[in-house]
Structure 1
Amino acid sequence: MHKILVVDDAAFMRLMLKNILSKQGYEIVGEAENGLEAVEKYKALSPDLVTMDITMPVMEGVEAVRLIKQLDPNAKIIMCSAMGQQSMVVQSLQAGARDFIVKPFQEERVLESIRKTLGA
């Protein structure tokens, strides 16, 4: 079973993602509401995959991706972006994210991205 860390500053968005993923048998090993917390949880939990919001307080997603990739060059991270954040998405991908999904989440697209990123 794949372990996933869900990172978003909005509890509602975390809940939506957790519901989509849990239904498909993914294990949600942790949640974080900012980039700094995401890096700490990544170290502690060693998830197989991270869903990472871009815009968050304390530390945004792009910076968190850079730090996680320094810790683990093989980290699998999918960015979650709202419409109109294309430049941030590009920065995220350059920093090492594997893919991105757009809010509001579409279940099929989320699952397709997760499967592709995990190589399943």
Structure 2
Amino acid sequence: MARILITDDAAFMRMQLKDNLTKLGHEVVGEAENGRDAVEKYQELKPDLITMDITMPEMNGVDAVKEIKKLNADAKVIMCSAMGQQGMVLEAIQAGAKDFIVKPFTPDRIKESVEKVLN
């Protein structure tokens, strides 16, 4: 079981991810609605894994990954992207994200990604 921080500016997306991750037996320890919020909550909650939306107000997901990696080089991040964001996904992977899932999510893909990143 992992302690997970979910980051997305859309509440319904956070709810969908939380629902899926909880069903997989993980604990959602926090939710963030933008990159800056995610960096603060990461420091506070020290989760095992972070799901990170790419396009958000205040600080986008790519910049948030860079900031989190400065705090902890071993931080595990899964990017959540919409179709057509390949360039930013690539940038996020280069910044240290471990994997990415494309919206709309399927429960199987979430499970596969989480297992891959945690193992």
TM-score range, shorter chain: over 0.9
Q: CA deviation at 1:9?
A: 0.1
Q: CA deviation at 1:24?
A: 1.1
2-structure distance, mates of 1:40, 1:13: 20
2-structure distance, mates of 1:99, 1:22: 19
Cα deviation 1:51-100 (Å, max 9, x = unaligned): 00000000000000000000000000000000000000000000000000
Structure 1: where are the runs of 5+ without partners? none
1-structure distance, mates of 2:85, 2:53: 11
Do residues 36 (structure 1) and 61 (structure 2) align? no
1-structure distance, mates of 2:108, 2:67: 29
User: Which residue matches 2:77?
Assistant: 77
1-structure distance, mates of 2:55, 2:74: 23
User: Which residue matches 1:19?
Assistant: 19
Whichever residue aligns with residue 67 of structure 2, its letter is: L
2-structure distance, mates of 1:58, 1:24: 31
Percent pairwise identity: 64
1-structure distance, mates of 2:110, 2:23: 12
- What is the root-mean-square deviation of aligned Cα atoms in Å? 0.4
2-structure distance, mates of 1:24, 1:90: 27
User: Which residue matches 1:89?
Assistant: 89
Do residues 105 (structure 1) and 105 (structure 2) align? yes
2-structure distance, mates of 1:45, 1:89: 25
2-structure distance, mates of 1:107, 1:92: 22
User: Which residue matches 2:59?
Assistant: 59
User: Which residue matches 1:50?
Assistant: 50
What's the TM-score once normalised by structure 1's chain length? 0.98
Look up the SS of the partner of 1:31 in the other structure: strand
